[in-house]
Amino acid sequence: MTDTTAPAVLIERLPDHVALVTINRPEARNAVNGDVARGLHAAIDDTEADDDVWVVILTGAGSDAFSAGADLKAVSTGRGNELRTERGGFAGFVHSPRSKPWIAAINGPALAGGCEIALACDLRVAVPQARFGLPEVKRGLVASAGGLYRLPRALPQAVALEMILTGEPIPAERALQLGMINVLAEREGLLAAAQALAARITVNAPVAVRQSLGVAKSALDLTDAELQGLSAKAQSAVMASEDFKEGPRAFIEKRAPRWTGR
């Protein structure tokens, strides 16, 4: 039996400055209802406020799906407005400002809104059984939670348009070949693969990582002149940090840097 008292979103602190966020509705293929939207919204606030968290991993409970997208039961009973938050948009997540890297650990199919949640993350690790798709047009709908513009950024345009217009998914192996996901891992090693990717990030200065991510995420939206301005601001922010002094000091002393994130 499903434990209906369990939170819809779980947050766990892992070693080495990593947090694990889990959409915890396996009985509903981790579909997004109001509890999930509020839970992910709160998870962002929690991890953003915690200076000891440098990278966040997002996954789904069970093995049936990363997320099936919107909970159609909630929508059919007139509670569709609960599936979003004012700041975060759908799932309280897809449009929410985040300064820290999020890695999607995709444990099964990521379709419709589930695909849009995965696309809203910065990096993606997936099991071979995963599929990615935006089937909204098959139901007379539009993928309005970022999928229509994030998918063409993540894939070659012709492939993305084919997926959007036909509503047909692609398997994880092809997503890997086309650069949509970073790592393909067997189910039993999925979280370990996501943690290994996170470790490759957390070995670096967290302030520099966050500032670099902020500029890179704007690369397709702004002009070169605007991006030059953002890069200059990022450099100023890094130079004002304690870690800016620690990096050269560790190099001179021939030791690993001891980053503080400040």
Residue 2: pLDDT band with limits 50, 70, 90: very low
Per-residue pLDDT, 3: 54
- Do residues 120 and 210 both lie within one domain? no
Query: Would the pLDDT of 87 be above 60?
Result: yes
Q: Which of 54-63, 69-78, 99-108, 211-220 comes out lowest in average pLDDT?
A: 69-78
Q: Tell me, rounded to whole angstroms, the distance of Cα 85 from its chain centroid.
A: 17
Per-residue pLDDT, 74: 86
Neighbours of 220 (CB within 10 A): 9
- Do residues 28 and 94 both lie within one domain? yes
- Do residues 165 and 91 both lie within one domain? yes
CA distance 120 to 156: 17
Q: What is the pLDDT of residues 211-261, one digit of tens each?
A: 999 999 999 889 999 999 999 999 999 999 988 988 888 889 888 889 888
CA distance 36 to 91: 6
Q: Which of 103-112, 148-157, 235-244 comes out lowest in average pLDDT?
A: 235-244
Number of structural domains, the chain? 2
Average pLDDT over residues 26-53: 96
CA distance 135 to 138: 6
Q: What is the residue range of 227's domain?
A: 206-252
Examine residue 260 and state whether it is found in any structural domain, yes or no.
Answer: no
Per-residue pLDDT, 1: 42
Examine residue 125 and state whether it is found in any structural domain, yes or no.
Answer: yes
Last residue of a domain, one of 178, 202, 226: 202
- Do residues 158 and 217 both lie within one domain? no
| Residue partners of 71: CB distance under 8 A and separation at least 6 | 28, 31, 32, 33, 36, 83
Neighbours of 172 (CB within 10 A): 25
Catalytic machinery residues? 116, 136
Angle between helical axes of 243-252 and 206-216 (0-180°, round to 10): 120
57: closest CA among 128, 124, 127? 124
Task: Provide the pairing of β-strand 110-111 with 89-90.
Answer: unpaired
Per-residue pLDDT, 260: 86
Q: What is the CATH number of the domain that holds 177?
A: 3.90.226.10
- Do residues 73 and 129 both lie within one domain? yes
Examine residue 176 and state whether it is found in any structural domain, yes or no.
Answer: yes
Average pLDDT over residues 121-133: 97
Examine residue 258 and state whether it is found in any structural domain, yes or no.
Answer: no
Average pLDDT over residues 11-34: 96
